Amino acid sequence: MLGIKLITLPAVLYHVFDKWGNLPDPFGTGVVLTAHCNTIFGMLYIPIRINKFLALLDAMDQHFIIPTDSTQQHLFDEAMKSASFVTKVFIGSALSTAMSYAVIPFTSYTNGTMTYPLPYQAAFPFDVSQTSGYWTAYFLLAISMMTMSTNASVNCDFIVSMVIKVTCQFRFLQLMIANIKEEAIKRNEQKQQERTKKSQATDGKLSLSELSILRLIDTDKDKTTEGLMHNDEGNHETELHSEVLKRLSECVKFHQVLLQFVSQLQTEASPFMLFQISIHVTFLCTNVLATTGVPVASTTFLTILLFIICVLSLLLLPCWYGNELTLQNQWLTVRGIAEQANIDRETVRKILTEDLDMSDIRSNTTAALKATLQNQFQNCFEGWTRRWYRCIASQGESSHYTN
């Protein structure tokens, strides 16, 4: 594909040089030159950064959560539908653009006679007025436009699909934080069941004489059982509290992994996406200007209009899903963690400072992510403090919850 670009690009440049000052289609020629530059940039940038992108894919395989219940599966299915829709839009735009250029020679008439022009303006060192020369130039230009459209769309689709998958992981994390209590209770019950099974297995291995002695001992202990029940309940609450902290720690660690992944993705993909957006804005402005000198009822106007629609879709999709990822990251912890179990401010601060390597985040993330993280921590502390004081007022156990 790169070889075809190296053939068609000099042909377009020679056409500009030959017709300088009197270009028959300056806007169309500008679009074609910009498309060549965009494709060559993508064909060079992606292979140069291929190891970085492979590392991102490997990180996705290692750290991303696989759906384990119906709720997570529903979120995952929605994300995959979005990714499939984006892929269809990108591929559809690429094919529509390529086909619109390919059919131009079969829709051009001059005084009722089909003129068979080339898909776009270019100059070749052979005579294109001859049948063999014309079809050689036609297929070269048509294949070049097809590869240019497809290459740009596939690269953008790859990056936008990664953004959609990261957004899905943030939703998984949001669900994990919202279900901290339920997960902690579930784990605690599983531990209690395991202990019960172990004690039953131990009792089954004792002899009859040992069991009779244990019954006598248990009879003597019945008098003190009521006094120990309060301690058992306290131990149960302590274990449950420990499970909540453990689950919160897991959520915070996973949040750090996602932040680091987003930082790496921004580092590797931002130059490419910035170049793509600038190219698409150039396409959009050039084609809007081109419509001013074209009759509305002509096939050329319809071709330009179709190209504008395709460019708008390619321009808006990365911006839309990139903004959604930012909103998910900002909204997640503020609403999730601040509404969870009764944990005092010092405990939350301890978890955050122990589980989050702030120096690593500062060195790997952007200023926007750092500001977002700081706001999340501040709102988290304030929400948990209010919840903690409400718990003290309702239960009257101020001695147990000392700040």
List helix spans (H) across 337-366. 345-355, 358-364
> How confident is the model over 196-217, as a mean pLDDT?
56
**What pLDDT does 105 receive?**
74
Side chain identity, residue 249: S
98 DSSP 8-state letter: H
Per residue in 231-240, pLDDT tens? 555 565 676 6
> How confident is the model over 106-119, as a mean pLDDT?
63
347 DSSP 8-state letter: H
Please tell me the least confidently modeled range out of 80-94, 112-126, 337-351.
Answer: 337-351
**What pLDDT does 393 receive?**
47
Please tell me the least confidently modeled range out of 12-21, 197-206, 351-360.
Answer: 351-360
**Residue 104's closest CA among 113, 88, 115, 112?**
115
Please tell me the least confidently modeled range out of 134-143, 156-165, 268-277, 369-378.
Answer: 369-378
Please tell me the least confidently modeled range out of 37-51, 123-137, 339-353.
Answer: 339-353
Q: Helix crossing, 299-336 with 367-395: angle to 10°?
A: 40
**Whole-angstrom Cα distance, residue 336 to residue 279?**
39
Per residue in 272-312, pLDDT tens? 888 888 888 888 888 888 787 777 777 777 777 877 887 78
Please check the confidence at residue 32 and state whether its pLDDT lies above 80: yes
Per residue in 149-204, pLDDT tens? 888 888 888 888 888 888 888 888 878 877 777 776 777 677 767 767 666 665 55
| Under 8 Å between Cβ of 25 and 12 | no
Please tell me the least confidently modeled range out of 1-5, 52-56, 95-99, 301-305.
Answer: 1-5
Q: What angle do CA 32, 39, 25 make, to 5 degrees?
A: 0
**What pLDDT does 370 receive?**
40
Q: How far is CA 29 from CA 20, 151, 215, 304, in A?
A: 12, 20, 97, 13
**What pLDDT does 389 receive?**
42
> How confident is the model over 349-375, as a mean pLDDT?
44
**What pLDDT does 401 receive?**
39
The dihedral over CA atoms of 358, 251, 335, 361, expressed in degrees to the nearest 10, equals: 20
**Whole-angstrom Cα distance, residue 306 to residue 329?**
35
**Residue 343's closest CA among 247, 209, 227, 211?**
247
**For the chain, what percent of residues have pLDDT higher than 90?**
0
**Whole-angstrom Cα distance, residue 169 to residue 258?**
8
Side chain identity, residue 50: I
Total residue length of the chain: 403
**What pLDDT does 207 receive?**
54
Please check the confidence at residue 55 and state whether its pLDDT lies above 60: yes
**For the chain, what percent of residues have pLDDT higher than 70?**
64
111 DSSP 8-state letter: T
Rounded to two decimals, the pTM is 0.69
E strands, 201-274, where?
none
- What does the block give as tokens for 73? 């599966």
> How confident is the model over 376-380, as a mean pLDDT?
44
> How confident is the model over 323-343, as a mean pLDDT?
54
Instruction: Give the three-state DSSP class for 121.
Output: coil
**Residue 290's closest CA among 272, 305, 312?**
305
Q: Is 104 left (phi over 0), alpha (psi -120 to 50) or beta?
A: alpha
Q: How confident is the model at residue 216 (pLDDT cuts 50, 70, 90)?
A: low
Q: What angle do CA 116, 145, 136 make, to 5 degrees?
A: 50
**Residue 377's closest CA among 385, 365, 387?**
385
Q: How confident is the model at residue 350 (pLDDT cuts 50, 70, 90)?
A: low
Average pLDDT for the chain? 71
Please check the confidence at residue 402 and state whether its pLDDT lies above 70: no
Please check the confidence at residue 357 and state whether its pLDDT lies above 60: no
Half-sphere exposure of 201 (CA within 13 A, CB side): 6
List helix spans (H) across 294-344. 299-336
Most confident of 201-215, 282-296, 381-395: 282-296
- What does the block give as tokens for 3? 């070889």
Which pairs with CB-CB distance under 8 Å and at least 24 residues apart come from 305-308?
306/96, 306/97, 306/100, 307/31, 307/97, 307/100, 307/283, 308/284
**What pLDDT does 387 receive?**
47
